[in-house]
Structure 1
Amino acid sequence: MLSRASKYAILSTLFLAEHSSKDKKISVKVIAESIDVPSPFLAKLFQQLVRGKIISSTKGPNGGFFLTEKNSKKNVLDIIENIDGLNKFNDCFLGLNECDSKNPCPVHFIVEPFKNSLLGKFRDKTIQEFSQEISEMGRVLTLKGLDLS
């Protein structure tokens, strides 16, 4: 349901939520290596995320990417909307051109509650809350052995 670009954007933003701050910025290269994404591809995603005010950046020798408190209050749906738009959530699960409550496909009423639940979770939790939930579950977004301290 989510494009690879959206998945990478979400993962890298959650990574920033866990590992960055205004005083601790992280380069695209380090993040790309840690989540195994081509650096140029992630750099383009980050340009979109910065323009959409989802993440922040500074240039220069101590530059890099980070999340401000305001960025952290955005939700995951903001990331998806910024990268792909929300049309994928309206598309038919089977790929039919016309599929809605009036013209449902065979799985429409099975998939619709799942889509709505997923949209609600992405909309109702902030980036910070998602990051915190991941940490509490013991799933740390690590840097493949790289030390950021």
Structure 2
Amino acid sequence: MFKIYSKGCEYVLRALTTLPADHFDVPFLAKDLCRKARVPEASTRKAFQKLAKEGILTAMTGPGGGYRLAVAPADISLLSIITAIEGEDVFKKCILGLRVCSDRKPCPVHASWKKLRGGMMQEMESKNLAQLMRAVK
């Protein structure tokens, strides 16, 4: 089965939807969100670190530690979360998994996938974390 993003990305999206939308700036512990979302802590924590590096989360140091959203959920697109975790090329990979696939040397479904991924990227950019949080509650 073709997957666009990793389990770690899926886990982060599920975990972030458990945050209270109206109190998004309150610090949280990764283990608490993981428990609430029923996702593995180790891979989710690694993905949280990537979100902190990209400025989507703020890592809190010291006693208690944890994270908090760096900006309001409405200002965090799903595309920004996905690309922070998976990298900028996440939607550019060949759908058949070929290492060499481009406009110059296309696979049999390259043109179709190129159209689909453009639309998918626009859709992910137009959706934000606040919308996802409301839809999941």
Residue 8 of structure 2 corresponds to residue 5 of structure 1: yes
RMSD after superposition: 2.6
Matched position secondary structure for 1:87: coil
1:90 positional shift: 0.9
TM-score by length of 2: 0.76
What pairs up with 1:44-123 in 2 under 5 angstroms?
44-59=46-61, 64-70=66-72, 72-123=74-125
Structure 2 unmatched ranges of 5 or more = none
CA distance in 1, matches of 2:18, 2:110: 34
Query: What letter is aligned with 1:54?
Result: I
**1:83 partner letter:** I
Cα deviations across residues 34-90 of structure 1 (Å, max 9, x unaligned)?
A: 222222332222222122211234356665433254464121221122112022311
SS of residue paired to 1:92: coil
Cα separation, 2, equivalents of 1:79 and 1:18: 17
> C-alpha separation between the residues in 1 aligned to 2:19 and 2:58?
10
Give the distance between the partners of 1:101 and 1:44, measured in 2 at CA.
Answer: 34
| TM-score computed with the length of structure 1 as normaliser | 0.71
Distance change >3 Å, CA 35–CA 19, structure 1 → 2: farther
Letter in 1 for 2:85: I
| Distance across 2 between alignment mates of 1:71 and 1:53 | 13
**Counterpart-to-counterpart distance in 2, 1:87 and 1:128:** 25
Q: Against the structure 1 CA distance between its residues 68 and 87, is the aligned structure 2 distance closer, same or farther, given a 3 Å change threshold?
A: closer
Retained in 1: the 8 A contact 2:50–2:84? yes
* 2:87 aligned counterpart, secondary structure: coil
SS at match of 2:94: coil
Structure 2: distance between partners of 1:100 and 1:17: 42
Cα–Cα, structure 1 residues 75 and 26, in superposed 2: closer, same or farther, change >3 Å? same
Structure 2: how far apart are the matches of 1:121 and 1:93?
Answer: 18
Q: Decide whether aligned partners of structure 1 residues 17 and 49 sit closer, same or farther in structure 2, where only a CA change above 3 A counts.
A: farther
SS of equivalent residue, structure 2 residue 91: helix
Query: Structure 1: 5+ residue runs without aligned partners?
Result: 141-149
